[in-house]
Copies of this chain bind each other. A is one copy, B any other.
């Protein structure tokens, strides 16, 4: 691989001049500029970004930490962020935190040590304190789907509580009164908030939540299946199930069908997230839309605004989820 030195030699100029045309910042005469450009082409020169990073303490890349690299949720987020960054010549370095505290911290350190210019974090296991402390270091970052009052300006998230509320309220409005709930892992703040929203909706209709109709799942398909099994075993009647995410809703639907319950005639089901596949299910899943795309773009904008581009743009920090009505909830009024 050709180096800047060889280019300078071939072009008959100094290192510094070549560097200048690479970053075309300082004024370089057209004539020498052309000479250098030609030499670069001739040698098929490409700057070594590692050396650039070391010297400039800047990498033109932003680190992204998501819980998992698979799953349409994270996929959309990464994809939208990458696209927005690429538009400005910035790159994404992506790693996974696996919802595990140690792993998440490692991921953050890895990204920092790769001298990312900024971080976009979807972290779940790490403590609020960790993030607050992280802010005292020089590296700029935003958290996605995690709200921490002390660093509110760094948070971009969905109003999960409102989403949980909206979902259950919809079921109530459709006449359901005996509503089961399949929650996410309640140590995760989004799962907890969605559940809180569910409770608030019930309260608004003066319904006492029946603890035996609540199952704490794992946010995965299997959790929905197990949830249905447990719920049915209680022998308590229910006409609808609100699920804390679409994956569990899909699991719940297939389990219900296996048990001979038809959807939505026997049991209504509502999900949360509006993942791509929720359109593929049968019946098509009614759910709460998580504007992943908007949030991803916003996170990218935050970084671009704060770091690279001189523009004033308002950043939306809280997104309100909306109901998506399809075919999995029956009106029994």
Query: Residues on A close to B: CB < 8 A?
Result: 46-51, 53-54, 59, 68-72, 74-76, 78-79, 82, 91-96, 109-110, 112-115, 221, 250, 253-254, 276-277, 279-283
Contact = CB atoms under 8 A, between A and B. Distances in A.
A43 to B, nearest CB: 14
20 contacts: A46-B112, A46-B113, A48-B113, A49-B110, A49-B114, A50-B53, A50-B59, A50-B113, A51-B54, A68-B75, A69-B94, A70-B75, A92-B94, A221-B279, A250-B280, A254-B279, A276-B277, A280-B280, A280-B281, A282-B283
A70 B94 CA distance: 13
A280 B251 CA distance: 8
Contact of A70 (B46, B76, B112): B76
Contacts of A46: 109, 112-113
A220 to B, nearest CB: 10
A69 B59 contact: no
A13 to B, nearest CB: 23
Copies of the chain in the assembly: 2
Given A70-B78, A281-B281, A50 B115 contact: yes
A82 B54 contact: no
A171 B47 CA distance: 54
A48 B50 CA distance: 11
List the 4 closest A-B pairs by CB distance, nearest first. A282-B282, A70-B75, A277-B277, A69-B78
A50 B114 CA distance: 6
Given A50-B53, A69-B75, A72-B75, 17 more contacts: A46-B113, A47-B113, A48-B54, A50-B54, A50-B113, A50-B114, A69-B78, A69-B79, A70-B79, A71-B72, A74-B75, A92-B95, A94-B94, A254-B280, A276-B277, A277-B280, A280-B280
Contacts of A282: 281-283
Contacts of A109: 46
Contacts of A94: 69, 92-94
Given A53-B50, A75-B75, A282-B281, A82 B69 contact: yes
B82 A96 contact: yes
A91 B79 contact: no
Contact of A95 (B70, B71, B91, B250): B91
A276 B246 CA distance: 13
B96 A93 contact: no
B68 A79 contact: yes
A105 to B, nearest CB: 11
A72 B72 contact: yes
A47, A96, A280 — most chain B CB neighbours (10 Å): A280
A276 B283 CA distance: 18
Contacts of A76: 70
Contacts of A71: 72, 75
A106 to B, nearest CB: 9
A117 to B, nearest CB: 12
A151 to B, nearest CB: 21
